[in-house]
């Protein structure tokens, strides 16, 4: 079975031989590629960055407004990524901590504090309305047909 997942300017085909495998693959792809905004300042001006330091690659989403990052790890199989949403207390002490794993390194080591709210924003955020289309009913006998979201 194949599912074509469209998200903003990306279009991805996710495959699975069973519904369970398809859902597992969809969840993994959405966790990596469907990040709307910076977890520190709320900006949607985020881009991918891959850094190579001493033959080690570091995969990150970077906010171009406040320069926070969401780092990604590589699974043991070396083929897939996962967002690093948690951090040790020592690591948190060196970062300004945002939502869902977003962080910004602080030179002075005064981390572990919640992100400062941008001036002019109220303390309460209005809930986002979901623009996602409802999932179609999946038939286990779909075969290799494609489903569009």
Q: Which residue has the higher pLDDT, 111 or 39?
A: 39
What is the number of other CB atoms lying within 10 angstroms of the CB of residue 49? Answer: 12
Q: Which residue has the higher pLDDT, 52 or 90?
A: 52
Q: What was the pLDDT predicted at 129? A: 46
CA quadruple 41, 44, 45, 46: dihedral sign: positive
Give tens-digit pLDDT for 78-87: 889 999 988 8
**Strands 146-148 and 2-7, sheet pairing:** parallel
Where do the domains of the chain lie? 1-34
Q: Which residue has the higher pLDDT, 70 or 127?
A: 70
Give tens-digit pLDDT for 2-43: 889 888 888 889 999 999 999 999 999 988 888 889 999 999
Q: How far apart are CA 13 and CA 61, in angstroms?
A: 22
Give tens-digit pLDDT for 120-135: 444 444 444 445 555 4
Q: How far apart are CA 139 and CA 22, in angstroms?
A: 12
């Amino acid at each position: 079975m194949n599912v074509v997942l469209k998200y903003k300017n990306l279009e991805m085909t996710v495959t699975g031989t069973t519904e369970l495998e398809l859902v597992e693959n969809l969840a993994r792809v959405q966790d990596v590629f469907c990040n709307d905004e910076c977890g520190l300042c709320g900006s949607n001006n985020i881009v991918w960055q891959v850094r190579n330091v001493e033959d080690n690659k570091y995969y990150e989403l970077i906010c171009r407004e406040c320069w926070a990052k969401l780092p990604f790890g590589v699974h043991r199989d070396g083929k897939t990524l996962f967002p690093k949403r948690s951090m040790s207390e020592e690591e948190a002490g060196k970062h300004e901590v945002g939502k869902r794993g977003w962080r910004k390194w602080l030179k002075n080591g005064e981390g572990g504090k919640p992100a400062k709210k941008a001036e002019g924003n109220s303390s309460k955020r209005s809930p986002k309305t979901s623009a996602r289309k409802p999932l179609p009913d999946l038939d286990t006998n779909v075969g290799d047909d494609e489903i569009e979201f």
